[in-house]
Every structure is written in structure tokens, then in C-alpha cells.
Amino acid sequence: MLYKTASLFVIGTELTRGVIADKHCQVVSSQLTQLGYRVERMVIVPDDGTIDSALSACLDTCDVVILTGGLGPTSDDLTRSIVATLAKVPLVRDQSAFEALYARIGERIWGANEQQAMLPSGFESIANPHGTAAGFKGFIPVGERSVACVAMPGPPREMDPMFFDEVLPWLAQLIGHNDFSRTEYSTFLLAEAKLEELCRQVAPEGIQWGTRFQDLKISLYLVGDSEERRQEMAQSLRSLVGPALIVDGDVMPAALLTDLLRSKAQTISCAESCTSGYVAKLLTDEGGSSSWFWGGAATYSNDAKMKMLGVKERTLRTYGAVSGECASEMAEGILEVSGTDYALSITGIAGPAGGSAEKPVGMVWVGFAAKGRKTQTVKLQFTSWGRVSVRRKASVAALILAGKYINGDALLDTVRKWQYI
Amino acid sequence: MLYKTASLFVIGTELTRGVIADKHCQVVSSQLTQLGYRVERMVIVPDDGTIDSALSACLDTCDVVILTGGLGPTSDDLTRSIVATLAKVPLVRDQSAFEALYARIGERIWGANEQQAMLPSGFESIANPHGTAAGFKGFIPVGERSVACVAMPGPPREMDPMFFDEVLPWLAQLIGHNDFSRTEYSTFLLAEAKLEELCRQVAPEGIQWGTRFQDLKISLYLVGDSEERRQEMAQSLRSLVGPALIVDGDVMPAALLTDLLRSKAQTISCAESCTSGYVAKLLTDEGGSSSWFWGGAATYSNDAKMKMLGVKERTLRTYGAVSGECASEMAEGILEVSGTDYALSITGIAGPAGGSAEKPVGMVWVGFAAKGRKTQTVKLQFTSWGRVSVRRKASVAALILAGKYINGDALLDTVRKWQYI
């Protein structure tokens, strides 16, 4: 049988109530379109909804049905039951889903959670490394035909890797692509539209890409051709924007730094002016932060810079708070107070007010200090998209550059290519 | 007839091919939810698609059908024909749509454009000031029922004004709001499901509500009846959860505090352990923060608490870092260093590790100090939904309670009602 048409069902009451916006329709439809599928409909329904009729109606015209959501332990187990009903099979315990869930939550598996390991008989479970609900895939017989059906969890951070790693290769096979695999990258400080444009510029025939914005980073997925050729495309991108802004795999910007510190069993502290605690917060988002993070000073006022960090009044008067000199004294100040191995500092104009011709909104100085090592400062100029964006980008840039400083790289070389930030 | 359920059909091949992301689903569903509608499904289809069956199927269960797209002169005129067919009426020239179009494009109206002025007979045209395609609204008879149906152009800049100015008031009328007015509140620390449950409990007949989650707060919209009756409902809610957690208007939690400080021309500083800079960041999200915020210490480690805030080693040894004693010394410590009018402190167990029977994950102490005023500390126990949630709730609670402290309220009275956090 030829698989050519597809439908997507997105299940979530928070979507039909407009609490959150759907994140799956575009990702799924663009990838399927690239594979050659025709997407006939995408349907969003509440998780207490009557999806049955819509779903069974589309089995007559669609070759592939993709479902997301409705797999949680507290939901009405909508998805599993509906697929079982349509395929006319019972729900049975899937051993590998059960074991994965048990490894994750232990004895709490008994009760509501248990049903997360129950799958329609004959369907194959798909591991979910980021959550408790396994996905599953298989076929629903419809007369002479056999409709491919796959179900994935709703949260994007669980659905995305499952979709790209497991589901897309399967769908590629079904439509006749034999070799299908993809590589994931994390990109920082680049606007999504810019990343799109750069991909279009360097993508060789046979490689498709997809992007997903995630607050502090944009994920980039390269699909098709060989791993080697995908890496070549990533290298072409890196040659345009600098290697620091595109890293392999699924990595949050803070993890770039904290993984490095953990591996070296070293510590850091920070001194922040315009970001005022943002970096300190990011460095402690993960549990276990005390092994690498001592603490930080949110020195928003000049008085705080002087009192908490020992920044000299003369420095502030002569160069201003947004200057390499001030960034340098801030980093050295918190290093001295904390006794950590490294220290970073940020001082800049976040806006909307406070900019000038000489120091426009979006200008940020970052500084790095360590015992027995030369303090380094770097000036960055962000295209200003407002206060939120400048503070976010300044924090991400400081996290990236701190890792470079620790590794002994020359920071000016690193930022020289950052022409798109 | 009662109008209560709604479906949305979004027509556009560029959506099912993933070229662009849908922009209508969330806007429409959130507004309809606020009016009290239940959105039963949202369907995205290509503009050469077979929408007929999906649309006619939903006429049996839905009271309102909203369509966007498929009205352009180059499309297959999908929407107009489908609605005419379902309503069993011919397409006829609508005089006001024709005149508006003629005023816009003159003699070019003849040809393909002409059909843009053809509407299902008995339907009323809706002017489109931003484009050539008029919208239309009317009723489709289905047995004894009469389903409301409205069609709007696809581009957001044409659809949005039409939806908010013309369609929403009509839908409000249909669901029984004669006076379409609403009151907005901001709620803090309450889970959306809990807020929903409380509203259901106290809502008098004639008042509907809608909620929207926004990271640090949930907006609550009360719709229907009189302003006075809506305020009464808000008071009933406040009597259940405490007045501090439901405030009038669209207010971010940090603004509760910063507006107060600005009005008094006073300043604050903060000392944070488990939130590590989160509050310092929130207090500077807005421009002009330097008038109220001096700075803060993210004292994640005990060493940082001692060195930056002067917390006594004996206090940490005797009571631990998560204690009223430590919160008190942290607040007094930063007050002394900063010389601000007020200081707040936070220390708690954010998890996932570090909890114990005595001090479980989610236990947070907050402290408040001021010159010449008694330092106050309060213990909070958040239902733990993980590290992100505990840190967010601790920050929001500290911002709310700081305002109460400044106003001289007894903090224990304030938190006594916080049984749902």
C-alpha cells in the first residue's frame, strides 16, 4: 500500500480554551510536506472531547493518522482507548513501556500511572526519555487498507524528540524513503528568520531543515542525506555565524557552562547590572546547582556596585557603569568576595530609556575573571528588540563566553563572527 | 435557542503545508472561552480540501461555526459555496459588499473579483476595511435548530479587527450577554484548575468566566450581568482564597510592589537563596527600575549568605538555611548593606532533592525588614509541582507579601487564607 495522505489530531483542552497556542501543527505539517505527504487536515480537540467520529471519518481518506496528547495519567486516557477501539483490539500492558515507567517513577506506578503502560494490542511502544507517557505506533485495518497510526505525548519537549527521532523516519519509510535520519543542533542568539535565511542559503539538495523557538535557544533539525553531509551543512552555517552559536544536540545555554564546571569540579559566581539576577537564576534552574554556583550580586545601582563589588567611584565617574572598566571591576569584585574559581559580569543598556549615540540601547559589556588569569571584557551590541530581548541575549552571551573563557579561548575571536545577534 | 458550543475551521494550504503557523486558533478559542462557549474542535484544512463532510458533521453538535480563509478571489471560493450549500440557499450578489468592493478596486471588480461580493442568500455581509473579501454571518437551519455561522478572511490583519469589532459582540449576544462587558482580574499563586473549580462554586447565574495562564499570574475575566454583580463574585472568590491573591485589572505581581514603591518614592533590596536572582530579575523587568531597586544578593551557598549578608554561622548550624532565623538575618543583612527603605529575603527547598520530613520540598521562608520596623518572617508550604514552580511561586509570594509589609499589614493574617497555593 502507498502512504500519501496524513491527518494530525492534537488533543488538549488548554488548546481549545486558548490558554496556550498549538505548537505541533506547523512542525508536523512542514516535515510531512517535505517528505511528500499531503496533509489533509489538522484537528485540535479538548481532551474530554468526542474525537471518535472525526477520527474514524478520516480513516477513509487518510493513510497516516498522527495523534498528540491525551496520554497523561490524569486525562481520560482518551488516545489509547480510541485507537484501541478503532483498531478493534484490547488495551494490554506493554512490557517495555511498563519497565521504562517503573524505572522513572518506581512504586508510584500503581494506580493512575499504571494505565500509561497500557497500549493497544499489536502496537509498538515508543520510548519517551523526557516524560512518563510512552508513545506508540502501529496499523489500523480499514477494509482492504491499513492506516498507519502513531500517538505521541503533548508537551513539545517530549513530543519533539520522539517525532524527529522515531516517528519521522518511520513515516519516511512508509512513503518510500529508505534512508532517513536527522541531526539536532541548538542555536543561540540568532533570530529565527535569520536562521531560516541562512539555512536556505547553504542547504544542499536532499537536506531539509526545521527550527523551533524555545525562549533561550532555537533548535535546528537537519533531515535527510547522510550524517556526514548534515554535519557539513552545520559547518557551513558555523562558518557564517561563528561556531559558538550552533552546538551539537539539545543543550540549554546554561548547561554549556554548568556541564563544563561540573566536569572540572569548579565553581563560579556572577555580578550583574542590567540583567539583575537573570544569570544567577539561570545557573540555578537545575537541581544540584550548589556544586557549581556560589552566588551572585544583582548590582543594579551604582551604589550596589561599589558596596557589594568594590567598583571604584572614579571608574563609574570616568567611564560610566556601562564600560569595559566597570565590567572588569565587577567580575574581579565578585571573584574576590566569593573565592570561586571563576566570575562573570554583565553591564549594559537594556532600554527602553537610557541609550545615547555613544552607548545605544543593546550595548552590553561582559567580563570574566579567574584566579591567576587575566581578566577579559568584551563589548557586544545587540540589535535591540526591546528590554526583554536585550536582557535575555546578554545573559545567554555571558553564559556562552564564560565557557570559552574557562577553556582559554580568545573571546574577541569568538565574538568576531557574531554579526547577526 | 441556546448557543453554547462552537467550532472553528481555518482554511489555508499554506497552513497544512507548514509554510506559516496558524494565528487564529488561540485568539478565537480564548475569546470564545471567555464568553462561556465550549470550543469543540478547531480544524485546519487546505483550501482545495474537502471541508464539506467535516463541516456538515459538526453542524449536528455545534451551535456556532466560525470559518476563516477561503474567501479570496483566486481561491476556489470554497467558503461561500460550502456555506450556501449547507444552508441550501443560492449565492446572490450582496449590494453593500459589492459597493464596498467597487469603492476599493473600481472597474477591476468585473471578473474573478466579482464573486467576492456574492454571498449565501439571507446572510449579512461584514465590511472588511483592510482587504477585498467581505465577511458574512447568518444562520444555517439544521432540523429544529439554527446554527450560527460566520466567515472571515484569512489574513490576521483583516480577520482580527473583524473578529473583535463585529463578530465577538454578535457571539456575546447569542450566548446571552445583552450587555457585553467584562471585568478583568489578576490572580496569583492559584493553580488554573483550582481557580476554575472555585469559580464554578461561587458563580451566580448569568456570569461566565474565562482564565488565561500567563507564567506569573492567571488572568480571570468575568463576563455578563452587571459590573456590581461581577465585583460581588470576585469578593466571594476573595473570601475563599484571601484578598491578596485576586486583584483588579491586568497587573503583574512585581508591579504590585513596584507601583507602591514608586508612589512612596521608596526603595527595596533583596536577598535570595533558592530563587537565586529571580526576584531581582522580576523587579527590573520594567524600565526605570533604578528608582525603586537598589540591587540584591543571590546567596545560593551558605558561604555567600555569611559573606554578603552577614548571616551568622551559628544560625545556619542551629536552624539551617531554610528557617525563619536565617530569612530574618538575610533580610536584615541586605537592608544594612544597601541602606534601602525595605528589604526582602527568600530561603527554601526548591527541590527536586534536598527535602526531608521536617523540611519538605516546597517549604519556603520569606522575610521582610525595614529601618525602625520589626522584621517579619513567614513560612509557606507550596504544593510541590517541581523546582520551576516552587521558585516561581516563592518569588510571587515574596513580591505580594512585601507590599503587605510596607502597608503595615499583619503577614500571618494575609497568608492564613492561602490554602490553595
Three-state secondary structure of B6-27: EEEEEECHHHHCCCCCCCHHHH
B20 belongs to a structural domain: yes
Q: Does B7 touch chain A (CB under 8 A)?
A: no
User: Which residues of chain A neighbour B277 with C-beta distances below 8 Å?
Assistant: 272, 276-281, 284, 296, 298
Q: Are B300 and A287 an interchain contact pair (Cβ–Cβ within 8 Å)?
A: no
Q: Select the residue of A57, A284, A307 nearest B276 (Cβ to Cβ).
A: A284
Domain assignment present for residue B149? The answer is: yes
* AA identity, residue A348: G
Nearest by CB to residue A303, choosing from B213, B278, B294, is B294
To the nearest whole Å, the CA of A26 is away from the closest chain B CA by: 5
CA A47 → CA A15, A79, A118, A238, B218, distances in Å?
10, 9, 18, 43, 21
Quick one: CA dihedral A290, B338, B365, B277, positive or negative?
negative
Residues A211 and A265 in one domain: no
Residue of chain B minimizing CA distance to A389: B285
Among A118, A144, A179, the domain boundary falls at A179
pLDDT one-digit tens code per residue, A337-366? 999 999 999 999 999 998 999 999 999 999
Enumerate the β-bridge partners of residue A220.
A185, A211
pLDDT confidence of residue A78: 82
Q: What is the pLDDT of residue B155?
A: 86
Q: Examine the domain organization and report whether A245 and A145 are in the same domain.
A: no
Interface touch A18/B40, C-beta < 8 Å: no
- Cβ distance A41 to B40 less than 8 Å, yes or no, reads no
Q: Output the average pLDDT for chain A.
A: 91
ipTM field? 0.72
- Res B378: pLDDT: 97
Q: How distant is the Cα of A8 from the closest Cα of chain B, in angstroms?
A: 10
Q: Which of A285, A308, A361, A389 to mutate against chain B (most B CBs within 10 Å)?
A: A308
Residue of chain B whose alpha carbon sits nearest to that of A54:
B54
B305 within some domain: yes
B421 assigned to some structural domain: no
- State the pLDDT at residue A281: 98
Query: In the 3-class helix/strand/coil scheme, how is chain A assigned residue by residue?
Result: CCCCEEEEEEECHHHHCCCCCCCHHHHHHHHHHHHCCEEEEEEEECCCCCHHHHHHHHCCCCCEEEEECCCCCCCCCHHHHHHHHHHCCCEEECHHHHHHHHHHHHHHHCCHHHHHHEEECCCEEECCCCCCCCEEEEEEEECCEEEEEEEECCCHHHHHHHHHHHHHHHHHHHHCCCCCCEEEEEECCCCHHHHHHHHHHHCCCCCEEEEEECCCCEEEEEECCCHHHHHHHHHHHHHHHCHHHEEECCCCHHHHHHHHHHHHCCCEEEEECCCCCHHHHHCCCCCCHHHCEEEEEECCCHHHHHHHHCCCHHHHHHHCCCCHHHHHHHHHHHHHHHCCCEEEEEEECCCCCCCCCCCCCCEEEEEEEECCEEEEEEEEECCCCCHHHHHHHHHHHHHHHHHHHHCCCCHHHHHHCCCCC
A185 and A155, same domain (yes or no): no
Chain B: residue whose CA lies nearest to A267: B301
Residues B223 and B304 grouped into a single domain: no
A114: confidence class by pLDDT, cuts 50, 70, 90: confident
- My answer on whether B243 and B285 are in the same domain is no
CATH of the domain at A242: 3.30.70.2860
Per-residue pLDDT of chain B (421 residues; tens, 9 = 90+): 678 999 999 998 889 988 888 989 998 998 898 888 999 999 999 887 667 777 888 888 899 999 999 887 654 568 998 999 999 999 999 988 888 888 877 777 777 677 888 899 999 999 998 888 899 999 999 998 999 999 999 988 889 889 988 999 899 989 886 666 778 899 999 987 788 889 989 999 888 787 766 779 988 888 778 889 999 999 999 999 999 999 998 899 999 999 999 999 999 999 999 999 999 999 999 999 999 999 999 999 999 999 999 999 999 999 999 999 999 999 999 999 999 999 999 999 999 998 999 999 999 999 999 999 999 999 999 987 789 999 999 999 999 999 999 999 989 989 988 877 7
CATH number at residue B235: 3.30.70
Burial B138-150 (b: 16+ CB within 10 A, else e): bebeeeeeebbbb
| Separation between Cα atoms, residue A35 and residue B291, nearest integer Å | 56
- Measured between beta carbons, the chain B residues lying within 8 angstroms of A66 are none
- With CA atoms as reference, report the closest residue to A344 among A419, A254, A417: A254
CA dihedral A316, A322, A323, A324 (to 10 degrees): 120
Q: Best mutation site among B33, B294, B387 for testing chain A: the one with the most A CBs within 10 Å?
A: B294
Which domain CATH number covers A294?
Answer: 3.90.950.20
Asked whether residue A129 is domain-assigned, the answer is yes
- A37 and A112 co-located in one domain: yes
Do residues A299 and A328 share a domain?
yes
Contact B43 A39 (CB under 8 A): no
User: If you count them, how many residues does chain A have?
Assistant: 421
In a domain, A421, yes or no: no
For residue A391, the one-letter residue type is R
C-alpha to C-alpha distances, A163 to A6, A11, B389, nearest whole angstrom: 15, 16, 27
Interface membership of A31 toward B (CB under 8 Å): yes
Are residues A31 and A18 both part of a single domain? yes
Final residue belonging to a domain, choices B125, B144, B174: B174
Look at residues B420, B354, B342, B337 and name the one whose alpha carbon lies nearest to residue B381: B420
Same domain, B283 and B212: no
Residues constituting chain B: 421
Give how many domains chain B has, as a whole number: 3
Q: Is A3 in CB contact (< 8 Å) with chain B?
A: no
For the entire predicted model, the pTM comes to 0.73
pLDDT at A178: 62
**Nine cell digits for residue B8:** 472553528
Return the C-alpha cell found at A346: 554583565
User: Are A78 and A51 a contacting pair, CB within 8 Å?
Assistant: yes
A241 occurs within a structural domain: yes
A210 and A137 in a common domain: no
| Domain span including residue B279 | 253-416
pLDDT digits (tens, 9 = 90+) for A61-99: 899 999 999 887 654 568 998 899 999 999 999 988 888
Q: Judge if B112 and B261 occupy the same domain.
A: no
CATH number at residue B141: 3.40.980.10
Q: Is B171 on the interface with A (CB under 8 A)?
A: no
Q: Are B33 and B100 in contact (CB under 8 A)?
A: no
B283 shares a domain with B142 = no
Residue A123 pLDDT more than 60? yes
> What's the pLDDT band for A56 if we cut at 50, 70, 90?
confident
Give the Cβ contact number of residue B214 at 10 Å. 12
A98 to chain B nearest CA, in Å? Answer: 23
Residue of B nearest to A28 (CA): B18
Amino acid at A279: V
> Given B127, B149, B174, which residue is the final one in a domain?
B174
**Band (A230; pLDDT cuts 50, 70, 90):** very high
